Amino acid sequence: MQMYDLINKKRHGLSLSREEIYWIVENFTNGVIPDYQMSAFLMAVCFASMNEGETADLTMAMANSGDMLDLSSFGGFTVDKHSTGGVGDKTTLIIAPIVASYGVKVPKMSGRGLGHTGGTIDKLESIPGFKTALSFEEFSDVVKKCGLAVVGQTAHLAPADKKIYALRDITATVESIPLISSSIMSKKLATGADGIVLDIKVGSGAFMKNIDDARKLAESMTKTAHLAGRKCKAIITNMDKPLGRAIGNSLEVIEAIEVLKNKVRGDLYDICIELSANMLSLSGMANVEECRHLAKNAIENGTALEKLREMIKLQSGNEKVIDDYGLFKAPAHKYEVRADRSGYISSINCEECGICALMLGAGRAVKNADIDPSAGIILNKLLGDKVEAGEVIAVFYTSQNIDISEIEQKFLSSYSISDKVEKNFGIIIE
């Protein structure tokens, strides 16, 4: 086999065999195929795309490039959730305890954030003492004891994806449905869960900006999972508005705890009930409607909150943060942002809000940069809310000594205020 021939074949829109795709992935991962040829191949995929079979073969080749975890020793059904990312997305911290409270195992490997705010791992590490770097034996022990654990991904999990994504990031080949699908699903399949629920976000704060692309991605990922013998369900959700009121690491953990204390309603609560219900339903517990009631009950009776407390303790964190938010690192500075006119919040540019949080120190612009766990934004006013000129619409938190005026102006420009109430779309699209 020659890489030149396979590049040319894909460039002309022809389908590659399973053997050819595995050969490409194996030889690129091992350093036999040079970056320039792999870049040409990725560009050919961007232009000519891949069919369902090719996408599934690429996904499995990448998954098999490293460790394939066997979770059978955990006992019972294991389920995972993946979100395509968004501003204020802290759903894992809520849904994993809900699902685990019913005996369904949620062994979750998550990543760090590169961009607006930290990933799930960064959020959890804002809890004093919380350990996300566990051996598989330690990870397994936590899951067996409390039904859930959230740890960082190992370097041996789908290493082909890591190498391929590094090329995609610098060769303008990120925005390809087969490549996005295979990148995400290779890691999900390698982690070994029996079922996977996908939260595909669409809108100004999401990677997918329009509903047609979101649907194509959802279809590609679910079909790939099914071809790999896994149960899978995709839900498309609205990211034309931040999810909840908190943007930033410890701030989002606190908001998640408040949801589990049954003190919060709205979009964040609604999406967590829907995701939890679908995860429970995949396990065979009941239909989705009945599982919605189960998810709500886990919050109302406090069992989900106690599962989170148990996980924090088992992963060496200070579980007392659930009752005392003062145990989180306190920000050095607090700034109030006031509306410049009266009216109704008609739109919010999520991406710009996220960039503001990044500028405050809540995210990382480059890999391995430090994150300020106390930094972030609390939104006092959400989409559709009435606001008066001079009223506080948000509060900035940071421990950096920075000129806040530029961030404040960027944030205000992300809000549109109109004279009448605009239609406020729900969080669950389909």
Helices and strands (DSSP H and E) totals, the chain: 16, 12
Quick one: which of 195, 108, 205, 185 has its CA closest to 152?
108
Could you state, in order of their start, the residue ranges of all structural domains in the chain? 3-48, 72-322, 328-418
How confident is the prediction for the chain on average, in pLDDT? 92
pLDDT, position 173? 87
**Residue 110 Rama label (left phi>0; alpha psi -120 to 50; beta):** beta
CATH class, range 328-418: alpha beta
Residue 94 has pLDDT above 80, yes or no: yes
The CATH number fitting domain 3-48, selected from 3.40.225.10, 1.20.970.10, 1.10.287.130, 3.40.50.300: 1.20.970.10
Q: What percent of the chain has pLDDT over 70?
A: 97
Rounded CA separation 343/93 (Å): 34
Residues tagged active-site: 82, 161, 168, 183, 187
Whether domain 72-322 has CATH 1.10.443.10: no
pLDDT band at 204 (very low <50, low <70, confident <90, very high): confident
Mean pLDDT check: name the lowest of 82-86, 218-222, 328-332, 393-397: 82-86
Q: How far apart are the C-alpha atoms of 294 and 281, rounded to whole Å? A: 10
Q: Average pLDDT for residues 104-125, to the nearest whole number?
A: 81
Weakest-pLDDT range from 51-60, 63-72, 141-150:
63-72
CB 304 within 8 A of CB 298: yes
Integer angstrom CA distances of residue 22 from 6, 25, 62, 169? 12, 5, 8, 22
In this predicted structure, the answer to whether residue 95 has a pLDDT above a threshold of 90 is yes
8 A C-beta contact, residue 228 and residue 194: no
**pLDDT, tens digit, 9 for 90 and up, residues 263-275:** 999 999 999 999 9
The phi, psi pair for 253, rounded to 5°, reads -60, -45
